[in-house]
Every structure is written in structure tokens, then in C-alpha cells.
Amino acid sequence: MDGGTPFHPARSDGSGRPAISYSPEDPVSRGEEAVPLLERAGPWSAFPEWAADSNLPDILSDYLPCCRWFGDKSRKIAAVAIESILPLQEAVEPEENTVYLCILSVGFSEGPPRRYLLPLGQGKVGEGGPAGPIARVPEGRTGPGYVTDGLFLPRSGRKLLSLFDGGRPDPAGLKVLRTPLLPGLLENCPPDSDVRVFGGEQSNTSLLFDKCLILKCFRTLGTGTNPDLEVGAFLSEAVPPAPIPPTGGAITGFTPEGRSLTLAMLQGLVENDGDGWRFMLERLGEIARSRNFSREGPVSLRLDRMIDRLGRRTAELHQALGRDPRHPDFAPVPLSADDLDQLVLSVEGRHLRVDRMLREASRQVPPQIRGWIDRFAGWSGKVGETLASCRRVSDGGSRIRCHGDFHLAQLLVTPGDDVVFLDFEGEPALPIEERREKASPFLDVAGMLRSLHYLVVSSMPGEPDPEWEGWLATWLDRQAGRYLQAYLERMEAGPAALLPGKKDADALLTLYLIRKALYEIEYEFNNRPGWVWIPLAGLEALVLPAGLPGTGAGERPPIGSGPAK
């Protein structure tokens, strides 16, 4: 897996969301000269006793927005409370080596509070991670001079991994969950394995143990079992095996009321050649450079095989998720008429919200964006008509547990161009209860089709290239159809009948594609408005007489035209 991506990368264009990168000019980074002094601090061994009375909570109010994993950068922090402090300490080590798992309750000027995980340890300059040290330790104290994010200290990873040793009791305040796969995973990972932080993530922090294990630490904490752990443990027992990394176990904490909080999940590391987004982007780049636009070209054929396999593996994932009719949390249930009505109502509500948002902003945006917004105003009514037709679905098939945030960056390409799927956490900004809700498998299919659209747009050159842009538009239509065909064929051959018949399936997939595109329009407009034309073009293709992706019906809007003039 040399040069590969060991786990999922930062949120990339494959999800319709930008990756976060750090540079010296990045306003969320801060230098060591700005690190505040920790006041009213006692000995590190007594940290749980004095932490709340020190100025650490105030320091954390300034520090948290500097962290790439902090998901509330758009909200103003009102106060930070250290809700729980759980020590990780070996009996014979110096006190300054103790690492504390801290569960923070972050309050905001508006909206509900949110919990975050922030392990704390004492470290040296350069050991604090991308956001730098948190606080300076007063002079005269023993040990290193800074309080840092403990996950960036190698000893923290070893301490956390040692918790999975079944021969030792769980530390106070923690519960360690172990799956039947854990012994085999630990056997293949030496206890003195090198530990490093995987630097590509946005919402979580993962620790890599050589080339054998990965410990994914959840920064945003919700009450109840994290869906990533719940789904991973369920699929790890699937026969035939599901296309996911093996799950070994988890570390769980608790709220003051006794409700569980999934802090970390241990998985086997999968040998890979990178994530699906990067893999396909690189292959398309090879075609662009070679100017070999033949369908029989070696790279084109390789991508064809990859898309076929992706469709089949998506179906196998859904079959595995819907395989057990007796499991209360995973048993398939019918998508009833009431379910469909509620789904259509929610999408109609989002459409009205998007329509109002764009109309109100149309005179305040740059001319090139205004062109797409004005164009949307001309066909926005077609969205409502299409949604109304979706109400005529008579057979909705089944609702199952889905991935929930399905796109090309959520899979790894393994040797032989096979795939495994990652990150079943769902959308971290949503409550766990919502992320656990069952949905039509078309929820995930729509996410992957929209990701293919973003892939094509990201492959567009900076300068006009009509031949390449035309080839990409044709390629997108063909590969979307290929993915759907491979998916539907494998679903039909599977043991569980989860999908409706073809007519209802077309309407239901259209509904989920509209839902996803509307979400993307809202996101892009609020975060990077120069990209809002991408989901607008995708939505236009759905509701005008162009038909579904891959049907070849009608003509699509110009996928690679860039912002409308």
C-alpha cells in the first residue's frame, strides 16, 4: 500500500464538499508565539482536580476553531466545559506521560451545545498537530513545556491500543467493545508498532499502526452507538463477506447521565492504491494527456471495469445490510405510502427554500453565477412537477440501513481494482438518531451518481478544450448508465428483494437525485458559490426532458461549460 491512502481522505469534491487544507496563510492556523499561558495549574498528575478552575476552558474557546475537525466554525462559542476527564496511564510511567481523554461540552451563542473529544497530554514544540500547542505550561514545572492535542503524541496511540487487550480490566469511565475479529487483527500487529496520525481527514482523527491497524477517533460525539461502529460490526459478520474493512472493536465513554458515547473504533488496515476519487481523477488525467479518446483505449477499458465493479459492490453492500430480517436495527422494512409522502414533502420543502434563496440573492452575486440562477428561475417549476410525479410510486421497495454519505472518496481501490467501502458514520452534522434511519438503497446510489458528476467537472481543464469536454460529458452519461446497470443486475440476482419494479425504481431514484442535488445547491451557495452551477446543471438534467443519467434520452446541459455567461 506504499503511496496509497490508508483510510478515507479529507472531504473532497467527490462529496460535493471542499477539502480543508492548511498553509501558513490559513487563518485557522496559529503560531507558537500565540500560545497562551496556562494559569492556576497544579501538577499534571492532578489535572482532573484543577482543570475546570484554570483558564483552560477559555483557552479552548479560542483553540477549537483552529482545529480542522471542529465542525462548528460558523457558530460563536459561548463557553467550553470539560465534562469528563479519563486518564490513560501506565503504572510505572512518569506523571508527565499521562494522557487524559477529555470530553468537552461546547456551548454556543445560538443553537444546541455539542460534545467533542479532545485528549490532552504534555508535549514539546511541534507535537501539537496542525493547530499547534494548546497552552504553555508555567515555568518551573517538570516535563515538556506545552499542553497539546494528545492524539498527536505517539504514546497516546499505544495506550489506546493497549485497552483492547482482553486480559486487563477496562479503565474507570470507559467500556471496551471487542468483536470476534479482534484477536486475529491484534495478532497481525506487533505491540511496538510505529504510530502516526493520518493527516487527510476533516471530521475525525485516525491513528495508523504500521500497516496493520487503524484507530479512528471520533471528534464529534453523539449519544448512542456511532453508526460507523454499529454498521461495521454488523457487516463484519456478513456471509459472504461485505466489501468493508474488518472491525475489531471500539472504546466507549459515557455522559454524566450514563448514555454511551463512541470515542474510537479499531479496524484492520486494507492494502490499497488510494481512494476512488483520486484513482478515477488520475485515470481521467491520463486520458486527457494521451488524447486517446477511444472507448477501446487501455485506460478507458480499465475505468469501464472499475465502474462495473463499483456497481456490483454497491449492490453487495446493500444486500449485506438488508440480509437479516430478524435483526431489529437492520431488518428491511417496506417503504410505505406514508414514508414516500413524507420524503416528497421534505424534498418539496427544500426546493422551495432553495428557490427562495437563489431568487433573493440573484442580484447580489457575480454575473457568471447570476446567469445560472436566472436560468434556474426559468425551469424551477419543473422540479415541482417532477416531484409531484414521484408521488405516483405504488411500490417503494424496502428501506434499509444505508451508508448515508456515499461518494467516491468513501471507498478504497484495492489491488486488482476492487473496492472496499468506508466511513458509515453518515453526515456528522446530523444527530445519530437521524443517521440511523432506514432509507431506500437509492439514497446511496444517488450519492454515487452525483459524485461522478463532480468527478467530471473536476477533470475539466482551466482553458477551454471542447474535444475533451465533449468526451467527458459523453463519458459521464455512459458510466452512470454502466454503474446503474451493474448495480441493478446484481441486486436482482441477490437473495433479498429490496428494490421496486423498473417504473417505480426510475421515479424513486429521480426523487433521491433531486434531493441530493438540492442539498448540494444549498451547500455550494453557502460555502463556495462559484461552484453552485455544478448541482444546478445536474438538477436541470433531471427535470428537463433529458431523462435519468445513462438513459441516453435527450440532451444534457453542458456539463463542463463552467459558470454560465
Q: Tell me the pLDDT tens digit for each residue of 536-549.
A: 999 999 998 654 44
Residue type for position 329: D
Check pLDDT > 80 for residue 8.
Answer: no
Answer whether 445's CB lies under 8 Å from 499's CB: no
Look at residue 149 in the predicted model and tell me its pLDDT: 95
CATH class of the domain at 159-268: alpha beta
- Name the pTM for this structure: 0.85
Listed by start position, the domains of the chain span: 31-152, 159-268, 276-543
**Rounded-to-integer distance, Cα 177 and Cα 163, Å:** 10
Look at residue 140 in the predicted model and tell me its pLDDT: 58
Confidence label for 141 from pLDDT (cuts 50, 70 and 90): low
Q: What is the pLDDT of residues 155-207, one digit of tens each?
A: 899 999 999 987 788 888 999 999 999 999 999 888 778 999 987 667 899 99
**Rounded-to-integer distance, Cα 463 and Cα 481, Å:** 28
- Phi then psi for residue 79, to 5 deg, are -165, 150
User: Lowest-pLDDT range, 65-74, 121-130, 272-281, 381-390?
Assistant: 121-130
Cell triple for 542: 433531471
Greatest mean pLDDT among 92-96, 223-227, 549-553? 223-227
Residue 280: how many CB atoms within 10 A of its CB?
Answer: 25
Cα-based distances in Å from 441 to 2, 51, 329: 34, 47, 16
Look at residue 304 in the predicted model and tell me its pLDDT: 97
Residues 6+ apart with CB under 8 A from 130: 22, 29, 67, 68, 199
How many Cα atoms are found within 13 Å in the side-chain-facing hemisphere of 365? Answer: 24
Report CA 316 to chain centroid distance, whole Å.
20
Check pLDDT > 60 for residue 382.
Answer: yes
Check pLDDT > 60 for residue 16.
Answer: no
- Region 350-362: mean pLDDT is 93
**Angle 23-135-68 from CA coordinates, rounded to 5°:** 35
Check pLDDT > 60 for residue 557.
Answer: no
- Region 490-512: mean pLDDT is 93
- Region 444-467: mean pLDDT is 93
Residue 361: how many CB atoms within 10 A of its CB?
Answer: 15
Look at residue 31 in the predicted model and tell me its pLDDT: 56
- Name the CATH superfamily, with its identifier, for domain 276-543: Aminoglycoside phosphotransferase (APH), C-terminal lobe (3.90.1200.10)
